[in-house]
Chain A
């Protein structure tokens, strides 16, 4: 069970920070920072810069994504923004617009 769940129908406007695992099924506008994993569900809408240990995107994200470990865009996921992470995957069926910095 994730520590923090933004349920479907809930909207957060502002700054969300913490050290819990975060799952977004609702809407977040602002910034979202956690030291644990972050995932955006298929119904999730994020208009925020994301920072986490790992980021999994199955919904829509507009903003820059920085992850210490990895970033994965799953099929159906959509990301508009820059990615900074050592590992980065884009599944077949995902859409992505932005630049990638793998720290090479």
Chain B
């Protein structure tokens, strides 16, 4: 596994970053980021360009498309103007997005997903993380302890997908009408 890179808070890059390994951006990047590892954009980080990576975690600002081969996760406070493309996409409460969202590609199996963050917490993003910017080590990718919906399905990485099927039968779309009521309505017409 190639070493992790960090763009520090006081650093700005004008140009493209590409290569192997994971990268954590706490400063500013004006240009494209393309790595085969994970990308974490801290809450003070800003990227003006497209971002490509395996898992992309955003707590800062991005103006550009986010393409994750595994996942794109927006955390509380994230601001994204651009498209989100990944097999798994999570948008936490408090994140702001303007752009289209496409979940495409084979989603990595849940067990696989459970492995990935462990690896990341172990080496890449766990290296120097004084800030609570990224939920680094523990798997439950439920970012900010968003309302029950996102937090509840802990084993699933994508809060959005998990939030869809609420427990119990769905509320009836059309209220059932009693016989009398229905009859009266028809009669009126």
Chain A residues proximal to chain B, CB less than 8 Å: 1-22, 25-27, 30, 34
The 3 closest A-B CB pairs, nearest first, are A14-B15, A3-B8, A18-B11
For residue B19, which residues in chain A have a CB less than 8 angstroms away from its CB?
A: 9-11, 26-27
Chain B residues proximal to chain A, CB less than 8 Å: 2-23, 27, 31, 35, 127-128
For residue B4, which residues in chain A have a CB less than 8 angstroms away from its CB?
A: 5, 7
Whether the Cβ atoms of B21 and A10 lie closer than 8 Å is yes
How many A-B residue pairs lie within 8 Å, measured between CB atoms?
Answer: 93
Whether the Cβ atoms of A18 and B23 lie closer than 8 Å is no
Whether the Cβ atoms of A4 and B16 lie closer than 8 Å is no
| Distance between Cα atoms of A17 and B8 in the complex (Å) | 10
For residue B12, which residues in chain A have a CB less than 8 angstroms away from its CB?
A: 16-18
Whether the Cβ atoms of A8 and B2 lie closer than 8 Å is yes
For residue A3, which residues in chain B have a CB less than 8 angstroms away from its CB?
A: 6, 8-11
For residue A8, which residues in chain B have a CB less than 8 angstroms away from its CB?
A: 2-3, 20-21
Whether the Cβ atoms of A4 and B11 lie closer than 8 Å is yes
| Distance between Cα atoms of A3 and B24 in the complex (Å) | 11
Q: A6's closest neighbor in chain B, by CB?
A: B5
Whether the Cβ atoms of A15 and B13 lie closer than 8 Å is yes
**B4 CB → nearest A CB, Å:** 5
Whether the Cβ atoms of B3 and A25 lie closer than 8 Å is yes
Contact of B2 among A7, A21, A30 (CB under 8 A): A7
For residue B16, which residues in chain A have a CB less than 8 angstroms away from its CB?
A: 12-14
| Distance between Cα atoms of A2 and B5 in the complex (Å) | 10
| Distance between Cα atoms of A15 and B14 in the complex (Å) | 5
